[in-house]
Chain A
Amino acid sequence: MNVPPVMDSSLPPAGAELERVRRMVQACMQCGTCSGSCPNAAAMDLTPRRLWRLVLLDRGEEIFRSRTFTLCSACYRCTLRCPRGLPLTEAMHALQRAAHRGRMRRYRAVTAFHHQFLESVRRNGRVNEMAFMMHYIAAVKNPLLLLRHAALGLQLAARGSLPLGRRPSRSLEALFRRAAEVENAP
């Protein structure tokens, strides 16, 4: 039986974000309401309850082997129903953030999606959805995705929903920089 020790402090530290998440869900009583409420639980490799259990057991490796937190669609049902009132959706976001910061390969597609989006915001203030999608598809280098979204784009364009022109833009460079400084200040 190869059992990893549960409270072995020799495990690599899972990062400040993970510690934040642990504090968020510490009062969890493993009732499973979150897993039962989650519309995407079926697609997850770990149910939310298991994910939180692993967080409490400091199992960073296992957590970041999972795609569970990338499947959170922020519907807030678990947050609403959690009898302990835990900020579970926020905790999912925090895990996404940890993955983003850790530049983990597994989450390249999701990270790229967010990254391209924010780049667009940083540069232009607002997001040009069409331009953003093109950047995103280029970043993840998945031609299949291009095809899919091209079809979508054409469909929307046909309905006149997708403006192709450019709008005035405004850089949020300074704001972004300052936010990073303030957040990362000790």
Chain B
Amino acid sequence: MRYHYYPGCSLEGTARDYDRSTRAVLAALGVELLEIPDWTCCGASAAGAAGALLARVLPARNLALAERREAKRDVLAPCSACYLNLRHAAQAMRANPREAAAIREVLSVEELRPEGRTRVRHLLDVLACDVGADRVAARVIRPLRGIRIAPYYGCQCLRPYADFDDPERPTSMEPLIRALGAEVFRWRSGGACCGASLASTQREAGLSRIAAILDDARGADAVATVCPMCQMNLVAFQGPASRRLRRDLARTVLYLPQLIGLALGLPQEALGCRGEGGLPLPTPPGRAAVRGRSPDGAADRRDGEEVRR
């Protein structure tokens, strides 16, 4: 398995750990990454606000670079926002001839002439569908037994493109979590919105999103994320969110590849983890060593996803 790799700006910055753990884990699982040479920002949410075309051109440039290097290979993006922008651009190139023509016109200033055949894949898509839980399970040497992990998908890897999971009731992370030997924490907020940049621009609205999610994660040992924005919001605003709800909302939030890496027995530094990644890590057997977790904190409050028949 080989993919073009588009890390995106955050993974060089605040989400460096995501980048490191992604590379480490994929390497361990036998996935080869070809970082797109000279990649540039996908425009995040800002480009859309400034110009509709610019919002397509910025990601399309990166797809064009990937295509120039090797045409029939998927582009992997770990950041959900980057993924969506790239995905939008790919969609435009494929399905909207007028827009595609405009994009090509602009890209010609950099002498790029993409055909627009490149497929864009989110890291979670690749892990869940291409790598698969079985392959992960086969390499786990340090199972996260007794650990309850809340799968947090956020928005943009699920919506609006239902590429690999059900956007209303996502489950793609669950087999992976189980493959790690961990337990899937049932909650309602898996597909909830973290508020994205609202935490910076519209603080109150943003904080209420974050607080609701952290509150719902009560009873989980860790929240697994697949997006730098989600991760940042859930980690950096735990203090204000706690003050807002007058409740302790301190939670362990880790990137999914960090969790996988821990179970694969990769060194903590390679994953950007410190102090066991903040996780009450499995000192097998049992959960006796779980710190700061009252028994009733783990009270059963599952969002009964009952399956009929």
Contacts and interface: CB of A to CB of B under 8 A. Distances in A.
Direct contact of A and B (CB under 8 A): yes
Interface of A: 39-40, 42-43, 67, 70-71, 73-77, 79-80, 89, 93-94, 96-97, 100, 109-111, 113-115, 117-118, 120-121, 125-130, 148-149, 152, 155-156, 159-163, 167, 170, 172, 174-176, 178-180, 182-183
Chain A interface helix/strand/loop/mixed = helix
A182 B236 contact: no
Interface in B35-59: 38-41, 43-55, 57-58
B110 interface: yes
Contacts of B16: 160-161, 163
Contacts of B44: 117, 127
A76 B157 CA distance: 10
Given A126-B40, A126-B41, A156-B236, A182 B13 contact: no
Size bracket, chain B contacts: 35 or more
Nearest to B278: A159
A76 B155 contact: yes
Interface in B161-214: 167-168, 192-198, 200-206, 208-209
A33 to B, nearest CB: 13
Contacts of B49: 93, 96-97, 100, 110-111, 114
Contacts of A175: 57-58, 61, 106-107, 109-110
B140 interface: no
B102 A126 contact: no
Interface string B272-293: 1010000000000000000000
Contact of A110 (B106, B201, B204): B201
B156 interface: yes
Contact of A155 (B10, B58, B105, B236): B236
Contacts of A176: 54
Nearest to A17: B52
Contact of A121 (B38, B41, B194): B41
Contacts of B52: 93-94, 97, 183
B202 A126 contact: no
Contacts of B236: 152, 155-156
B52 to A, nearest CB: 7
B51 A113 contact: no
A183 B197 contact: no
B295 interface: no
Given A100-B50, A129-B13, A75 B159 contact: yes
B274 A97 contact: no
Given A40-B198, A75-B155, A127 B9 contact: yes
B14 interface: yes
Contacts of B272: 160
Given A155-B236, A176-B54, A121 B193 contact: no
